[in-house]
Amino acid sequence: MTNIKQLLKSQLGIDGPEIHHNLSWSELFQASLKFDRGRIDQQGGYDDQKAYATKLRGNGPIVFRTDPDCTGRPVSDTYAVAWPEVESEIWWKDSLQKFDPDKYQQLLSRVISHLNQYRGRLFVQDVVVGQDPECSIPYRIIGQYAIHSMFARNMFITSKSTDDTGESSDEGWTMLNVQTFQCDPERDGCRSDRVAILDFRNRICLVAGRADYCGLVKKSIFTVMNYLLPKRGILSMHSSANIGSDNDSAILFGLSGTGKTTLSADPQRKLIGDDEICWTDSGISNIENGCYAKLIDLDKNAEPIIAAALSMKGTLIENVPNLEGIPYEDTDPQDFDLHDKSITENTRFSYPLSCNPNLAEGGRGDHPSTIVMLTADAFGVLPPISILDEDEAMYHFVQGFTARVAGTEVGIKEPEATFSSCFGSPFMAHKPMVYANLLKKKMRLSNARCVLLNTGWIGGSAGSAPRISISATRALLDAAMRGEFHNGSSGIKFKKHPILGIRHPVTCRGVDSSILDPRSCWSDKGAYDRATHRLREMFRRNFSNHQFGNSGIPEII
């Protein structure tokens, strides 16, 4: 039987580093504390401790500090190799740029030579991406930081093989994550001193340079799945999903910060997954086996399931500062100041799905009854909920309007309006209509109803007005799940927005009816109308720029 060292040498040419293969969570916990070193402050050195225990020691979470220049995904440093066989299929854009094949092969060779000369140690973890065997692939993480193996163990299914062997399958992908290598833009053909490159020919995710944000481990392979699955007629989605007591599944599309994780963690419904879901001919399932939630301003009373996971063994807390004058090692995880943005607004934590006490068996559910498109309207214009027919659903799906929340991506300092097709364009490897056509087909087959749920601001724009309360949002979501907005016998009346044309209810059980008409919440009605006209023009401009009309999408707004 070939061992892992021989495999790495024969497959990648790695021969020199000390190999640690498929360590347990507890072993990785200790290894991260001992070995993970790098920069954690702008003025700090490159041999600083990056991982810390809390007062709970090995029975609680671990805290990880990323490089200060990588507290979110390095969007402008993300590429795919422009191999001839995939070049015409991939949706090239700012968040997925072309990388020259010759430059890539030279860079990969340099990275491996660096590893062999640097020696040190590598942590190798074998996991499976996708809970449904119909849409799963093996994924091997090879990295210099133990924390990335820990993250992979949280987020995916651990491989059945935990010994020192393991041939990779014909479908398996490998992430090579080398933090100590520094790219040279002039030599390597990249923008900066770091890269995250997808190689669809050789099934490699190459991360080279100071890019230690844990989200790269999951978002890289998610982009891969978004390329592979649609080619097999499977819809991969940037969404969460859960299932009710009547076996009524629901999908919640949305970008980070719009409420996918929060709203899917519902005590009255079983969680399927919180971020990455696929839809096959037999139903929906979780691509992951863990959750990666935002922590900033977490309301523990409103989100008890997420709050409880903070103290559990297996949790990985990312970029939450220590309390002033108190080291991490002396801090109870529940005492962290989750409003502290001094490191980043993108404070996060990863925890196994098992931290949630109410899970759907096997991470699966039937075809969805309800599809929710989440948006966080920074302008305070959209109603808290709107009811969408098929054409409107396709329109809002390809437009993907929301607000990018500060810190989720490098360089974003304030909430900012954006249009992100499929509610996740950075991760979509194909052009939007590939996913839109699959969604339309599956919605028709399942007869799913659809709503646009706004978790953004009400009564004014972000910074001048409050966000819609989570209690109101949950009440609206619950009503949508029960089908009350699509049930003609419910007695609910609707109003058509005079400028945007969308239809919204004027009453809902458990919700102050005054917030359902956003204009009524603005003290300056003229300012609301002007803001609404500006947003309408943004919708129209984005629709025209992407030529969605040429693909058969009706221009709704």
Clarify whether 261 is annotated catalytic: yes
C-alpha 195/C-alpha 177 separation (Å) is 10
Clarify whether 489 is annotated catalytic: no
Distances (CA, A) of 522 to 90, 169, 508, 519, 555: 43, 58, 20, 6, 28
C-alpha 554/C-alpha 285 separation (Å) is 30
C-alpha 269/C-alpha 372 separation (Å) is 15
The answer to whether the CB of 514 falls within 8 A of the CB of 508 is no
CA angle (118 as vertex; 116, 124 as ends), nearest 5: 65
| Residue of 78, 149, 256, 347 marked catalytic | 256
| Residue of 203, 238, 430, 504 marked catalytic | 238
Clarify whether 260 is annotated catalytic: yes
In eight-state DSSP terms, residue 140 is E
| Residue of 65, 73, 148, 404 marked catalytic | 73
Residue type at 548? F
H/E run at residue 442: helix 432-446
Clarify whether 529 is annotated catalytic: no
Alpha-carbon torsion, ordered 371, 236, 195, 353, to 10 deg: 70
| Residue of 223, 261, 350, 370 marked catalytic | 261
Strand partners, 417: 403
| Residue of 275, 280, 315, 377 marked catalytic | 275
Residue among 228, 125, 121 at smallest CA distance from 168: 125
The answer to whether the CB of 381 falls within 8 A of the CB of 519 is no
C-alpha 236/C-alpha 424 separation (Å) is 11
Clarify whether 238 is annotated catalytic: yes
| Residue of 20, 65, 210, 260 marked catalytic | 260
In eight-state DSSP terms, residue 369 is E
Q: What is the CA radius of gyration of the chain?
A: 23
Clarify whether 525 is annotated catalytic: no
Clarify whether 344 is annotated catalytic: no
| Residue of 20, 21, 50, 348 marked catalytic | 348
Which of helix, strand or coil describes residue 334?
helix
| Residue of 219, 367, 430, 440 marked catalytic | 219
User: What positions carry a catalytic annotation?
Assistant: 73, 219, 238, 256, 260-261, 275, 348
